[in-house]
């Protein structure tokens, strides 16, 4: 007899794959939530059942590595709780390198692993041969070895999680298809199904390859795309032991794991096959349950050829089965978690890029925390659904970019590498002008942005490498130009919002950690904090009038910051938030001659007495009313000029014309990075994140604790000031000028690891590599502790002497910035 659905549940989880079952398990176990899970077919019947089951842990983000490590810890012990085995085997994983670029990448990965508390070793070809006797190692440069990686049975894990969820009170229903949602504004009030209606407070969309379609029913964009992924399972191979390590051979684009005495082998080809279903909108058919595509040996031959060269015994082994099934991939290769910006009570866990088994346990844990508390439990920005924008509603663009990301799954991860597909998509009015200046563009959230400018005689393109790249010299010239003369940056991609209404000031005071309700004409640099005191947003707020504020934040943070501010507006506040990003172009005029140029293009008084630092004024340039903001992110005198978008070209032209007398030139984003590193300005997403509070980040001066004003995170900030800090952000340089710092390099204090770099680059004025990172100690970190240590940095597995700096490396006279 079919079990009837309940009329109401606190939380409805949609999808009975590993992510949905893990989320239901954690909601029930950790939060005692009233949970109902709905699966349209049978548990695991989407893509979980045919997953290869490799479980790796190391990613470039410390938080995501923590999520994956949690999965391993859960899989090790879950059977003790549920009585159902997970098939977990800690076989370790070898990653093979056949060239110097890959070997450098692995040396950096080994450093990252140790920074994150994992023991990754680098081993010789001879050691690889000893661990994997059937492998041809003649072309190897070496390999990385992570002994705690392994493999598991996806279906067994999922069934064990499902049983655990039921044991803790969750109710799981199979054969229930979601057909729609009842909505009240931007909130779901009920889930409609083919078997009835369930009222609810929260929905968690873990629909796998159907997550996009499920989200669309509530107006939510879930940018993923199904791609065909193939692997084979061989008959038993003589000499292959059951404890054989899993292998990733990225230079050959293939992977192996042992299974019942044979091998599972698959790969990531550069010419992936999109699943275009033929249904309206390319939807995945609801009835695609425990189904596969026809075998495609022609397409798979490229992997088979490479695999036989690596493991010659494969050439004699029988193929027991070929698996050709759809996997959900995303436009940037990272999975999707978090609160949907379009719907206040839908959370999403989908698009796992073939990492679903590795991520399943940890993703369910953090998603459950997020759904119950309304905040992520740690910095999950790289997988946060709010990293996307309306651009990602374009299905064709998402497909094209996703296929590129799939094709790069095993390519060398060169620093600063840009995606090429779907470009150009969004351009500022200056795009063609900057191309004539030989701009080399990068892309951020769809916007084309000039990264650097190639001098005459040099091809305007990036040449990627693991060391100094071809733009290093030209960027140094741009950097020096801003320090010595004047440069203009096209930063039109900045996200820009306006908040208006009689309650706007009070609302922003509640949301922001700094005092922003200053008189009209003032602007404030501020953080927006979560309840833990972690930095969720890092932006400027300019007060244009008593009831009007102008908010500027980073390009990539556009959806996130807008959603966070809107979500935390006080109930009943008469305040309206509007995104005006495309209404304004932004030109940043920076350098010691910036005032000379600005005064030549406007009749406004831009002297220091009339236009002081931290002020905003409306001035006229080239017949356009411009919001001029006296602020800098490069450590020089300067203004951000926010121009009506249609006037951006006119203003740029007159700046370049009048600025010729002061040797003005356009400058790119890579120079901004080197300039800000010298000045000690923090970058959100790396130096400051939701894991870091302002006092740890050296930004306590921007927190209004002396004011008797409630704001989100105030209690956590008060607690932070009452106790010793366990970490502090510090600046490091190396004496060796050839060291390439990128971030995640290990910091040693008196020979012991105390943290890792959050960002790195080169300071052309000081002539040294520069890195920032948090120094940690359970006993507390203060200035005396920082100053008393001897420091080194581990870079690509090598130690380099380092100097810690307690003040910015570049600090020009006051009149160069504020005068």
State pLDDT tens for residues 229-252: 999 999 999 999 988 999 999 999
Strand (E) or helix (H) holding 673: helix 669-679
Question: Residue 145: is its pLDDT beyond 60?
Answer: yes
288: helix, strand or coil: coil
Query: Taking the C-alpha atoms of 136, 138, 144 and 145 in order, what is their torsion angle to the nearest 10 degrees?
Result: 40
Tell me the backbone φ, ψ of residue 541, rounded to 5 degrees: -125, 120
Look up the CATH superfamily of 8-86+152-225+332-387.
Answer: FAD/NAD(P)-binding domain (3.50.50.60)
CB 314 within 8 A of CB 263: yes
Q: How far is CA 631 from the centre of its chain?
A: 27
Band (819; pLDDT cuts 50, 70, 90): low
Question: Residue 276: is its pLDDT beyond 90?
Answer: no
**If we measure between CA atoms, which residue out of 525, 487, 520, 484 comes closest to residue 504?**
520
Band (48; pLDDT cuts 50, 70, 90): confident
Strand (E) or helix (H) holding 393: none
CA angle 699, 640, 559 (to 5 degrees): 65
CB 331 within 8 A of CB 425: no
Question: Residue 816: is its pLDDT beyond 80?
Answer: no
Least confident of 50-54, 533-537, 580-584, 604-608: 50-54
The pTM score is 0.96
The residue to which tokens 């990602």 are assigned? 392
Residue 222's CB: how many other CB atoms inside 10 A? 25
Residue range 344-372: mean pLDDT, rounded: 95
- SS3 of 743-774: CCCEEEECCEEEEEEEEEEEECCCCEEEEEEE
Q: How many whole angstroms separate alpha carbon 426 and alpha carbon 490?
A: 13
Residue range 665-689: mean pLDDT, rounded: 98
CB 338 within 8 A of CB 370: yes
**If we measure between CA atoms, which residue out of 373, 385, 397, 399 comes closest to residue 343?**
385
Structure tokens at 767: 């002539």
Q: How many whole angstroms separate alpha carbon 666 and alpha carbon 672?
A: 12
CB 335 within 8 A of CB 348: no
Q: How many whole angstroms separate alpha carbon 667 and alpha carbon 462?
A: 16
CA angle 69, 71, 77 (to 5 degrees): 110
Residue range 613-621: mean pLDDT, rounded: 98
State pLDDT tens for residues 746-767: 999 999 999 999 999 999 999 9
Q: How many whole angstroms separate alpha carbon 75 and alpha carbon 10?
A: 27
Task: Note the pLDDT of residue 277.
Answer: 74
Residue range 665-683: mean pLDDT, rounded: 98
Residue range 538-551: mean pLDDT, rounded: 98
Q: How many whole angstroms separate alpha carbon 516 and alpha carbon 514?
A: 6
Residue range 526-552: mean pLDDT, rounded: 98
181: helix, strand or coil: strand
Structure tokens at 275: 């699943």
Strand (E) or helix (H) holding 37: strand 35-39
Task: Note the pLDDT of residue 93.
Answer: 95
The residue to which tokens 């504004």 are assigned? 185
State pLDDT tens for residues 68-86: 999 999 999 999 999 999 9
Question: Residue 814: is its pLDDT beyond 70?
Answer: no
Handedness of CA 375, 380, 383, 389 (dihedral sign): positive
Domain 8-86+152-225+332-387 and domain 495-579+693-714 have a common topology: no
**If we measure between CA atoms, which residue out of 448, 354, 447 comes closest to residue 402?**
354
* Alpha-carbon distances of 693 from 535, 539, 564, 681, 741, rounded to whole Å: 6, 15, 17, 15, 24
DSSP string, 222-280: ---EEEEEEEEEE---TT--TTPPEEEEGGGTEEEEEETTEEEEEE--SS-EE----SG
Q: How many whole angstroms separate alpha carbon 277 and alpha carbon 151?
A: 31
Q: How many whole angstroms separate alpha carbon 15 and alpha carbon 783?
A: 51
Q: List, in order, residues 6 or more apart from 394 with CB less than 8 Å away.
A: none
Q: List, in order, residues 6 or more apart from 709 with CB less than 8 Å away.
A: 509, 515
DSSP string, 297-337: HHHHHHHHHHHHHH-GGGGGS-EEEEEEEEEEE-TTS--EE
State pLDDT tens for residues 778-808: 999 999 999 999 999 999 999 999 999 999 9
State pLDDT tens for residues 147-203: 999 888 999 999 999 999 999 999 999 999 999 999 999 999 999 999 999 999 999
Sheet holding 523-529, edge to edge: 523-529, 535-545, 548-553, 495-500, 576-579
Q: Helix and strand tally (H, E) in the chain?
A: 19, 38
**If we measure between CA atoms, which residue out of 267, 266, 288 comes closest to residue 277?**
288
Question: Residue 813: is its pLDDT beyond 90?
Answer: no
Band (313; pLDDT cuts 50, 70, 90): very high
Q: How many whole angstroms separate alpha carbon 674 and alpha carbon 634?
A: 8
Question: Residue 52: is its pLDDT beyond 90?
Answer: no
Question: Residue 1: is its pLDDT beyond 60?
Answer: no
Tell me the backbone φ, ψ of residue 137, rounded to 5 degrees: -110, 15
**If we measure between CA atoms, which residue out of 74, 20, 372 comes closest to residue 205?**
20
**Percent of the chain, pLDDT > 90?**
91
CB 346 within 8 A of CB 203: yes
Question: What residue spans define the domains of the chain?
Answer: 8-86+152-225+332-387, 495-579+693-714
CATH class for the domain made up of 495-579+693-714 = alpha beta
CB 254 within 8 A of CB 310: yes
Residue range 685-710: mean pLDDT, rounded: 97
Question: Residue 666: is its pLDDT beyond 70?
Answer: yes
Whether residue 687 is preceded by a cis peptide bond, meaning omega within 30 degrees of 0, is no
Q: What is the mean pLDDT of the chain?
A: 96
CB 653 within 8 A of CB 587: no
* Alpha-carbon distances of 200 from 24, 86, 94, 193, rounded to whole Å: 15, 32, 46, 13
Task: Note the pLDDT of residue 817.
Answer: 73
CB 656 within 8 A of CB 488: yes
Q: How many whole angstroms separate alpha carbon 203 and alpha carbon 212?
A: 14
By DSSP bridging, strand 576-579 and strand 495-500 are antiparallel
By DSSP bridging, strand 225-234 and strand 262-267 are antiparallel
């Amino acid at each position: 007899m079919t079990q009837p659905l309940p009329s109401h549940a606190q939380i409805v989880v949609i999808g009975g794959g590993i992510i949905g079952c893990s989320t239901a398990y954690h909601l029930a176990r950790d939060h005692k939530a009233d949970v109902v899970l709905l699966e349209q077919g049978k548990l695991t019947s989407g893509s979980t059942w045919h997953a290869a089951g490799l479980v790796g842990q190391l990613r470039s983000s410390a938080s995501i590595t923590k999520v994956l490590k949690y999965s391993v810890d859960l899989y090790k012990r879950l059977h003790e709780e549920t009585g159902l085995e997970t098939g977990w085997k800690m076989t370790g994983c070898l990653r093979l390198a056949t060239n110097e670029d890959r070997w450098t990448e692995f040396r950096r990965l080994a450093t990252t692993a140790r920074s994150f508390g994992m023991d990754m070793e680098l081993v010789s070809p001879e050691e690889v041969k000893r661990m994997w006797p059937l492998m041809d190692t003649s072309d190897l440069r070496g390999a990385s070895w992570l002994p705690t990686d392994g493999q598991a049975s996806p279906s067994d894990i999922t069934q064990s999680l499902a049983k655990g969820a039921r044991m803790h009170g969750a109710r799981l229903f199979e054969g229930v298809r979601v057909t729609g949602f009842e909505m009240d504004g931007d909130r779901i009030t009920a889930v409609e199904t083919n078997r009835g209606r369930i009222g609810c407070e929260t929905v968690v969309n873990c629909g796998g390859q159907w997550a996009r379609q499920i989200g669309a029913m509530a107006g939510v964009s879930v940018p993923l795309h199904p791609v065909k992924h193939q692997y084979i399972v061989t008959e038993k191979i003589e000499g292959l032991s059951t404890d054989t390590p899993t292998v990733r051979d990225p230079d050959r684009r293939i992977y192996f794991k042992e299974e019942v005495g044979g091998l599972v082998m698959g790969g990531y080809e550069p010419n992936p096959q999109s699943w275009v279903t033929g249904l309206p909108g390319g939807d995945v058919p609801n009835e695609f349950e425990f189904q596969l595509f026809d075998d495609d040996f022609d397409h798979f031959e490229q992997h088979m050829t490479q695999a036989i060269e690596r493991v010659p015994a494969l050439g004699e082994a029988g193929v027991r089965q070929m698996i050709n099934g759809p996997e959900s991939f995303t436009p940037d290769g990272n999975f999707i978690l978090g609160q949907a910006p379009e719907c206040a009570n839908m959370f999403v866990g989908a698009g796992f890029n073939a990492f679903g088994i590795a991520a399943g346990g940890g993703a369910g844990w953090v998603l459950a925390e997020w759904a119950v508390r309304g905040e992520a439990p740690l910095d999950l920005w790289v997988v946060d659904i709010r990293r996307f924008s309306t651009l990602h509603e374009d299905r064709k663009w998402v497909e094209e970019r996703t296929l590129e990301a799939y094709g790069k799954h095993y390519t060398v991860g060169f620093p600063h590498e840009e995606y090429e597909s779907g470009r150009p998509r969004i351009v500022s009015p200056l795009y063609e002008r900057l191309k004539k200046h030989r701009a080399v563009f990068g892309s951020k959230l769809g916007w084309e942005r000039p990264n650097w400018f190639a001098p005459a005689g040099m091809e305007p393109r990036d040449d990627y490498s693991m060391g100094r790249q071809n733009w290093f010299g030209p960027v140094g010239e741009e950097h020096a130009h801003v320090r010595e003369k004047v440069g203009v940056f096209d930063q039109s991609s900045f996200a820009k919002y306006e908040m208006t209404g009689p309650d706007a000031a009070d609302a922003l005071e509640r949301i922001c950690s700094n005092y922003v309700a200053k008189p009209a004409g003032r602007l404030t640099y501020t953080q927006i904090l979560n309840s833990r005191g972690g930095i969720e947003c890092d932006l400027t707020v300019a007060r244009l009038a008593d009831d009007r504020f102008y908010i500027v934040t980073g390009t990539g943070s556009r959806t996130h910051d807008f959603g966070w501010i809107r979500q935390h507006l006080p109930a009943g506040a008469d305040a309206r938030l509007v995104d005006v990003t495309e209404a304004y172009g932004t030109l940043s005029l920076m350098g010691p001659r910036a005032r000379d140029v600005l005064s030549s293009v406007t009749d406004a008084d831009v002297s220091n007495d009339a236009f002081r630092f931290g002020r905003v004024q409306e001035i006229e340039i080239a017949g356009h009313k411009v919001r001029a903001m006296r602020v800098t992110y490069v450590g020089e005198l300067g203004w951000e000029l926010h121009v009506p978008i249609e006037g951006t070209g006119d203003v740029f032209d007159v700046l370049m014309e009048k600025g010729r007398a002061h040797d003005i030139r356009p400058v790119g984003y890579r120079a901004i990075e080197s300039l800000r590193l010298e000045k000690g300005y923090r970058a959100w997403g790396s130096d400051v994140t939701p894991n870091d509070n302002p006092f740890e980040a050296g930004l306590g001066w921007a927190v209004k604790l002396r004011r008797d004003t409630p704001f989100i995170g105030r209690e956590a900030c008060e607690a932070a000031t009452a106790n010793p800090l366990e970490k502090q952000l510090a600046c490091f340089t190396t004496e060796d000028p050839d060291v390439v710092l990128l971030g995640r390099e290990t910091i040693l204090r008196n020979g012991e690891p105390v943290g890792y770099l959050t960002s790195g680059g080169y300071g052309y004025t000081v002539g040294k590599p520069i890195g920032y990172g948090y120094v940690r100690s359970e006993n507390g970190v203060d200035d005396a502790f920082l100053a008393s240590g001897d420091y080194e940095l581990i870079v690509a597995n090598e130690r380099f002497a380092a100097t810690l700096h307690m003040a910015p490396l570049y600090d020009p006279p006051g009149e160069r910035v504020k005068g």
